[in-house]
């Protein structure tokens, strides 16, 4: 009995894979189902068999054309191969364990947007995001004849939002009490703390229209504007360090009682703008100085602070990233939430039982399907088209993003083909990953996790089904070819 995953003759395995694909397309095979097993039988029809033998010969030549010299022995394996039945076994009974875990913190000083807002999630609890930023003026010079007019902040939408934008949001702009510098000297995190004044520099209550309007205009305190104006005009501030010491920065805080949405704003085009004017001969001419959010310094003096006050009893038990909860212990559910750090962890515990099947075998395809819990999503709490897939080690540290054979990042893609029947699931191609498990000890050391794209710049959330029950909420489907069973 030969049960090793890779035959000593690697060419035979490659021929099986190529033949499987070609025959499936060309119609030289037929399919019969028996106990989740599909048999790929070579037809007895003479003409079809001749075509198949010719195909195998070509495939053998293709695979053999390397540094080796082609000789008769190269064709002996092909002959044996074509005289044997090939079984293509489709297996969907492998054990899949899903868990929920939570990262201690996420780096958000490298986020791609500002996130401001608050809403109450029926599953996760009260979700809140606020932004902290250092501002720098485009110019440190103001004409001695100029007079101060006003100051305001322009927040530019960047098209991202989450939850209900028909409800109103409030934004409070407050002055920081300390210069923005991370404790570790490198990054700010979603859990970082920076002190700020309780008094508002300005505020606005608005109904978000991120796809219809350009920006929000927030009038700021004239005390702030007049003070900065005089410091610049009198040349008491002439450089970055002096400005930071005088005005460390601002924070954007959502309303304490808001239950609307979290909205994204573009930090590269959002500015604080101070207006002043100079008298000319017949009129006054207005000028402005913009104060941009500083994202070019190192370390970056900007971040989003994101938090959730959990009402979910299962999530409150996740105190650090090494604590996990199995879906079977959390009502057959696992959870994902970007910005906060919840993620679904997936392990495959019995893949190597494939070796118990007699004969030589090769993995042709592996796909994981995992369903979102029906009723956990809506137009406001939307499912995204894709989730990113990462590999984690035994300590639940991310080692790298999962890549396919083409070097591109593997993604979980939302399949809506049978949406009218509530058959919605994420589909993840895992052939390369599963092959790695079958040929190494990876199954004992690694697992995969699911995270939304731009997980440090969004608050997207998902509730996924576990393996319990008749709904088959998570299932690994393998296509495995077996041959030479009698040798």
d(CA 278, CA 266): 31
If phi > 0 it is left, if psi is from -120 to 50 it is alpha, else beta; for residue 284 that is beta
What per-residue confidence (pLDDT) applies to 18?
Answer: 55
Report mean pLDDT in 10-residue bins for the chain, 487 residues.
Answer: 38 54 46 37 40 48 42 40 70 93 96 97 96 97 96 97 97 98 96 97 97 95 98 97 98 97 98 96 93 95 95 90 94 96 94 83 93 95 96 93 91 94 94 88 77 96 92 91 70
Q: Which of 319, 318, 338 is nearest to 462 (CA)?
A: 338
What per-residue confidence (pLDDT) applies to 359?
Answer: 78
Count CB-CB contacts under 10 A for residue 292. Answer: 18
What per-residue confidence (pLDDT) applies to 22?
Answer: 52
* Strands (E) located in 315-441: 324-326, 333-337, 342-348, 360-370, 386-392, 398-401, 411-418, 423-429
What is the pTM (predicted TM-score) of this model?
Answer: 0.83
Helix, strand, or coil here: 153?
Answer: strand
What per-residue confidence (pLDDT) applies to 194?
Answer: 98
d(CA 304, CA 289): 25
Sign of CA pseudo-dihedral 34, 40, 44, 48: positive
What per-residue confidence (pLDDT) applies to 21?
Answer: 52
- Name, in order, each residue with C-beta under 8 angstroms of 298's C-beta and a sequence gap of 6 or more: none
- Pseudo-torsion of CA 412, 415, 419, 424, nearest 10°? -40
Count CB-CB contacts under 10 A for residue 338. Answer: 26
Could you check whether the bond before residue 252 is cis, i.e. omega within 30 degrees of 0? no
What per-residue confidence (pLDDT) applies to 149?
Answer: 98
List, in sequence order, every residue forming a beta bridge with 333; answer none if it has no partner. 465
**Max Cα-Cα span within the chain:** 103
d(CA 431, CA 443): 14
Token duo for residue 167? 């409800």
């Amino acid at each position: 009995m030969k049960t090793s995953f890779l035959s000593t003759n690697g060419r035979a395995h490659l021929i099986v894979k190529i033949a499987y694909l070609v025959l499936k397309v060309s119609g030289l095979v037929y399919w019969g189902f028996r106990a989740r097993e599909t048999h790929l039988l070579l037809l007895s029809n003479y003409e079809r068999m001749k075509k198949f033998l010719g195909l195998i010969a070509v495939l053998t030549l293709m695979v053999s054309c390397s540094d080796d010299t082609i000789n008769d022995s190269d064709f002996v394996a092909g002959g044996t191969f074509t005289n044997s039945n090939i079984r293509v076994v489709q297996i969907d009974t492998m054990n899949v364990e899903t868990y929920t875990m939570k990262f201690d913190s996420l780096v958000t000083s490298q986020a791609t947007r500002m996130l401001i807002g608050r809403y109450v999630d029926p599953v996760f609890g009260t979700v809140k995001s606020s932004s902290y930023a250092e501002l720098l003026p485009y110019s440190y010079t103001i004409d001695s004849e100029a007079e101060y007019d006003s100051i305001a902040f322009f927040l530019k939408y960047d098209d991202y939002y989450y939850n209900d934008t028909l409800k109103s949001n409030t934004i409070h702009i407050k002055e920081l009490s300390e210069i923005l510098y991370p404790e570790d000297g490198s990054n700010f995190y979603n859990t970082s703390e920076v002190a700020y004044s309780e008094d508002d520099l300005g505020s606005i209550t608005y109904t978000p229209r991120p796809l219809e309007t350009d920006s929000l205009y927030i009038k700021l305190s004239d005390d702030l504007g007049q003070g900065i104006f005089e410091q610049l005009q009198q040349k008491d501030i002439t450089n970055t360090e002096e400005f930071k010491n005088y005005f460390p920065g601002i924070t954007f805080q959502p309303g304490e009682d808001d239950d609307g949405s979290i909205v994204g704003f573009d930090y590269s085009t959002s500015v604080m703008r101070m207006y002043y004017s100079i008298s000319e001969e017949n009129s006054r001419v207005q000028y402005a100085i913009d104060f941009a959010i500083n994202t070019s310094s190192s370390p970056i003096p900007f971040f989003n602070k994101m938090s959730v006050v959990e009402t979910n009893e299962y999530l409150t038990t996740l105190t650090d990233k090494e604590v996990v909860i199995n879906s079977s212990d959390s009502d057959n559910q696992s959870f994902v939430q970007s910005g906060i750090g919840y993620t679904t962890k997936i392990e495959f515990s019995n893949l190597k039982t494939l070796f118990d099947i007699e004969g030589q075998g090769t993995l042709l395809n592996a796909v994981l399907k995992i369903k979102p819990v029906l009723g956990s999503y809506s137009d406001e709490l939307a499912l995204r088209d894709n989730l990113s897939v990462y590999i984690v080690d035994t300590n639940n540290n991310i080692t790298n993003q999962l890549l396919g054979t083409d070097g591109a990042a593997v993604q979980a893609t939302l399949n809506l083909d049978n949406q009218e029947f509530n058959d919605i699931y994420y589909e993840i191609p895992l052939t390369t990953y599963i092959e790695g498990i079958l040929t190494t000890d990876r199954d004992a050391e690694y697992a995969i996790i699911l995270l939304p794209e731009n997980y440090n710049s969004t608050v997207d959330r998902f509730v996924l089904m576990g393996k319990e029950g008749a709904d088959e909420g998570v299932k690994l489907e393998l296509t495995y070819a077996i041959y030479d069973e009698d040798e």
